[in-house]
Amino acid sequence: MAALASEYLSEILEPEKFAAAIFGVTLTFTILSTNAVGFRTWMRLRRKQLGNDDYLMCAAMMVNLVQNALVMHGTFVGIGSPDSKLNSEIEQEGREYLFLWQIFYAISLVFIKTSILTTLKRVDTKRRFIYAIWGLIALVIVLCVAVIITLLAKCRPIQANWTGNGTCMDSDIFVALAKTGYALDVVTDLAMAVISTMLLWGPELSVTSKVTTGLALGLGAIAAIASVVRTVYTDAYSSDDNYLYSTGKIVLWTVVECSLGIIAGSLPMLRPAQRSRAHDEKIEELEMNRSDADFRIAVAEAAGTVHQHCGGPRSP
């Protein structure tokens, strides 16, 4: 067993500099996003309000955990590292993990966005944006399917994506398709931000609700910015030199985008908790007041009875 562990450790890299940064950022956002979804789920279960948007976000979290695990292990096999630190075997394994990460990223993103859009659909009681929301859900699903088909069809056999032994799509065509997909991703982010602002923000909100909603919208905006920044590095997919180092920038910003999307999509769920907690405190206060009143009435009745038994005045 020790020999197998030693052999495995000898075949991996210790993440340094940029690779170590990818590992650290991914680990941090994994913890934060997992806690956000965990608290959301606990609160919704406690209030008996668990809905389809919660199930979708839990699914997103599970897929995102797999995605982030691939990224973190990928930093030990070349993702984020320059060619000078890699041998052919490690680079091949790093490319394989990068390919698997792309698949799970597409799946994770569709669950995250459909969860948020399902929440918006539930909030939109006046159905002002119902067609726009359904249109965005359809666009997100179609985009996810298109990305997965493109990735699976990119090379024949599929192992050529990391071994290089086979025929693959021209890299310039793949970059153009990737840029188109990323651009549509940004468009959906912006559309969701606009609809969220119009539905969730209003003068009737309490200060606490405004802070929570504002924070969620702010994180959503940062996630959209991360998506835009990632698009800048799309040409890395056509790079011949330092491929895993260059594509590591895409991986890093995608981790930020997905994790912030999960956190931002879960924060608005705190508003029902705040209202419920305030409601519970009010009920408790009323019950205490009622108990005090009942106690005073009981004391008064007891005093009247004693007074009568002790020869107090009687009614004529």
Phi, psi of 167 (to 5 degrees): -110, 135
E-strand stretches of 262-311: none
Instruction: Give yes or no for a contact between 22 and 71, defined as CB atoms under 8 angstroms apart.
Output: yes
Instruction: Give yes or no for a contact between 18 and 244, defined as CB atoms under 8 angstroms apart.
Output: no
E-strand stretches of the chain: 155-156, 167-168
Q: How confident is the model at residue 221 (pLDDT cuts 50, 70, 90)?
A: confident
Domains in the chain: boundaries: 14-271
Pairwise CA distance, residues 130 & 122, whole Å: 9
Whole-number average pLDDT of the chain: 80
The pLDDT value recorded for residue 252 is 94
Tell whether the model's pLDDT for residue 299 goes beyond 90. Answer: no
DSSP string for residues in 206-235 = -HHHHHHHHHHHHHHHHHHHHHHHHHHTGG
Q: Which of 7-16, 72-81, 220-229 has the lowest mean pLDDT?
A: 7-16
Q: Return the half-sphere exposure (C-beta side, CA atoms, 13 A cut-off) of residue 2.
A: 0
Mean pLDDT value of segment 196-218: 67
Q: How confident is the model at residue 4 (pLDDT cuts 50, 70, 90)?
A: very low
Residue bearing tokens 């979804």: 37
Question: By three-state DSSP, how is residue 34 classified?
Answer: helix
- Span 14-271: which CATH code? 1.20.1070
The pLDDT value recorded for residue 206 is 59
Q: What is the DSSP letter of 15?
A: P
Phi, psi of 156 (to 5 degrees): -130, 125
Pairwise CA distance, residues 182 & 74, whole Å: 22
Q: How confident is the model at residue 204 (pLDDT cuts 50, 70, 90)?
A: low
